[in-house]
């Protein structure tokens, strides 16, 4: 392939000490199949196939830094060494396939104690308690329940804040033992960090509430804590809800201000998502047009100079390439389309003529290259002579 014409999507990028083979990122995706926070064979296969499919970076799921920071009993976690060791099998395989394994560290705060996505995160109740899954109270900046049916969360005092910061620090250290090369702090989707940022869920009157500067304090302390615990030669991302979404109060100007502060704290990239906190203002849901969150990544990048990742209904190779070419983002993340086509990066590389065989496991690529070498051009409907013995041939009409 002519490198002068190489699409940006398939041009390697170096982030601190980590070189990524292309700019297609598997966005974090919760699976709700963990056992005691540790992964099962499902995660090995599910995340492994994205690495085989040619992605540059393969994120796992939102991974809770402490047990009570899980949404469900089946969420992934990284609060003990057993879990760290169990992820190693997955991260080793992802690396073997040429991709970079990444982890998203999170704490769900007041959203604790629910069922999974298939039940729209319905709160656990008495029936679940009788079945051995009692609800528990989450932590939050203010004693406001996440939604109807959720218990009033514990309003965090300064000891609680220190405890959660320590849990983020310990999980970041374990993430290195688990073999991850990129880490992301989950500051979006209405979970604990976002609960501090948004006035919808933060009604505090101390140094962590009130002004925007105060509401950003917890997020920035998490960023500083994880940055200090995470190796200097490895990149650290931060996912934001660039706007609260329906009924919210946190907006893009706030996100730009946060991104400036994150950059000052050595965060490498802002991953621009949206939504998750629903309040009662007139803010609308972001319309689900293709690339619906790209404008957020674009403005954060333009106004702060920090790298960004765009995500949200990016499904076509040319679309992904133009997000990068037009300077809206440095990386493109995808989730749902990859669930249909785990090998989307290979197909995109083929379509953009970017050397798709180079992204495959060598044993597979070898056989496909041989197939290409042996192929004989043949128009459908024309005839072909095929040997049926040492001295005889027959004519077939090729379909
Ligand atoms: C099955 C599934 C699980 C998800 N879990 C997470 C998660 O753990 N953390 C997160 O930040 N976003 C999560 N998301 C959101 C995705 O990362 C992504 O931002 C969103 O799906 C939009 O991208 P898409 O249009 O390419 O799917 C999840 C999405 C899906 C479909």
Does some domain include residue 327? yes
Give the H/E segment covering residue 348: helix 344-351
Q: What's the rounded Cα separation, in Å, for the pair 78 and 65?
A: 6
Q: What's the rounded Cα separation, in Å, for the pair 191 and 296?
A: 19
pLDDT for 326-375, tens place per residue?
999 999 999 999 999 999 999 999 999 999 999 999 999 999 999 999 99
Does some domain include residue 388? no
Does some domain include residue 389? no
83 lines ligand 1 (CB under 6 A): no
- 191 noted as active-site residue: yes
Does some domain include residue 53? yes
Rg over alpha carbons for the chain, rounded to the nearest Å, is 24
Average pLDDT over residues 230-241: 98
Which of 29, 60, 189 to mutate to test ligand 1, by most ligand atoms within 8 A of the CB atom? 29
Angle at 201 between CA 307 and CA 236, to 5 degrees: 25
Average pLDDT over residues 180-206: 98
Residue 393 alpha carbon to ligand 1 centre in Å: 56
Give the model's confidence band at 164: pLDDT under 50 very low, under 70 low, under 90 confident, else very high: very high
Q: Is the pLDDT of residue 105 over 60?
A: yes
- The residues, any chain, with a CB within 8 Å of residue 105's CB and separated by 6 or more, are 63, 65, 78, 168, 171, 172, 175, 183, 184, 185, 186, 226
Domain that holds residue 35: 3-374
Does some domain include residue 385? no
Give the H/E segment covering residue 393: strand 393-397
Residue 189 alpha carbon to ligand 1 centre in Å: 10
Higher local confidence (pLDDT), 29 or 285: 29
158 lines ligand 1 (CB under 6 A): no
Angle at 290 between CA 284 and CA 291, to 5 degrees: 80
Q: Whole-prediction pTM value?
A: 0.96
The tokens for 2 are 């002519």
Higher local confidence (pLDDT), 399 or 381: 381
Does some domain include residue 89? yes
Pick the atom of ligand 1 nearest to 311's CA: 23
pLDDT for 145-158, tens place per residue?
999 899 999 999 99
Q: Is the pLDDT of residue 109 over 70?
A: yes
Q: What is the pLDDT of residue 5?
A: 67
Q: What is the pLDDT of residue 271?
A: 98
Q: Mean pLDDT of all residues in the chain? A: 96
* CATH code of residue 246: 3.20.20.70
Q: What is the pLDDT of residue 96?
A: 97
Give the model's confidence band at 378: pLDDT under 50 very low, under 70 low, under 90 confident, else very high: confident
- Asked if 85 and 37 touch (Cβ cutoff 8 Å), the reply is no
Pick the atom of ligand 1 nearest to 315's CA: 26
Q: Is the pLDDT of residue 2 over 80?
A: no
Q: What's the rounded Cα separation, in Å, for the pair 324 and 328?
A: 6
Does some domain include residue 210? yes
Between 68-72, 113-117, 371-375, 395-399, the lowest mean confidence (pLDDT) is in 395-399
186: closest CA among 241, 131, 138, 132?
A: 241
Q: What is the pLDDT of residue 216?
A: 98
Looking at the 3D structure of the chain, how many domains does it have?
1
Q: Is 14 exposed, middle or buried (0-12, 13-18, 19+ CB in 10 A)?
A: exposed
Q: What is the pLDDT of residue 4?
A: 52
Q: What's the rounded Cα separation, in Å, for the pair 335 and 313?
A: 8
Q: What is the pLDDT of residue 388?
A: 95
Check the CA dihedral 140-143-144-145 and report its sign. Answer: positive
33 lines ligand 1 (CB under 6 A): no
Does some domain include residue 358? yes
Task: Report the percent of the chain where pLDDT is more than 70.
Answer: 99
- Asked if 274 and 293 touch (Cβ cutoff 8 Å), the reply is yes
pLDDT for 45-62, tens place per residue?
999 999 999 999 999 999
Give the H/E segment covering residue 331: strand 331-334
């Amino acid at each position: 392939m002519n490198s002068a014409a190489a699409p940006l999507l398939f041009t390697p990028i170096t982030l601190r000490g980590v070189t990524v083979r292309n700019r297609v990122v598997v966005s974090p995706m919760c699976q709700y199949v963990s056992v005691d926070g540790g992964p099962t064979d499902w995660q090995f296969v599910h995340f492994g196939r994205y690495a085989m499919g040619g992605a540059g970076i393969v994120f796992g799921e939102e991974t809770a830094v402490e047990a009570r920071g899980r949404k469900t009993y089946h969420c992934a976690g990284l609060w003990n060494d057993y879990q760290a060791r169990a992820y190693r099998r997955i991260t080793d395989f992802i690396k073997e396939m040429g991709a970079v394994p990444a982890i998203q560290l999170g704490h769900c705060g007041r959203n604790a104690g629910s069922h999974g996505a298939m039940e729209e995160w319905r709160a656990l109740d008495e029936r679940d308690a009788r079945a051995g899954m009692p609800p528990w109270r989450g932590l939050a900046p203010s004693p406001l329940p996440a939604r109807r049916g959720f218990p009033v969360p514990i309003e965090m005092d300064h000891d609680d804040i220190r405890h959660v910061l320590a849990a983020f620090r310990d999980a970041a250290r374990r993430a290195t033992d688990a073999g991850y090369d990129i880490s992301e702090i989950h500051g979006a989707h209405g979970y604990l960090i976002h609960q501090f940022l948004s006035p919808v869920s933060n009604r505090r009157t101390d140094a962590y509430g009130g002004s925007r500067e105060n509401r950003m304090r917890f997020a920035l302390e998490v960023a500083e804590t994880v940055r200090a615990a995470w190796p200097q030669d490895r990149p650290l991302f931060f996912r934001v809800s660039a706007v609260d979404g329906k009924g919210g109060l946190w907006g893009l100007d706030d996100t730009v201000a946060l991104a400036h502060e994150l950059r000052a704290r050595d965060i490498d990239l802002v991953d621009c998502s949206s939504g998750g906190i629903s309040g009662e203002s007139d803010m609308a849901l972001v319309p689900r047009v293709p690339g619906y969150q790209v404008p957020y990544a674009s403005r954060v990048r333009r106004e702060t100079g920090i790298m960004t990742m765009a995500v949200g209904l990016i499904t076509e190779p040319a679309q992904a390439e133009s997000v990068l070419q037009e300077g809206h983002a440095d990386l493109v993340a995808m989730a749902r389309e990859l669930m249909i086509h785990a090998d989307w990066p290979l197909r995109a590389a083929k379509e953009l003529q970017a050397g798709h065989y180079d992204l495959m496991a060598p044993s597979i690529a070898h056989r496909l290259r041989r197939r290409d070498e042996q192929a004989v051009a043949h128009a459908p409907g024309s005839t072909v002579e095929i040997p049926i013995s040492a001295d005889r041939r027959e004519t077939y009409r090729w379909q």
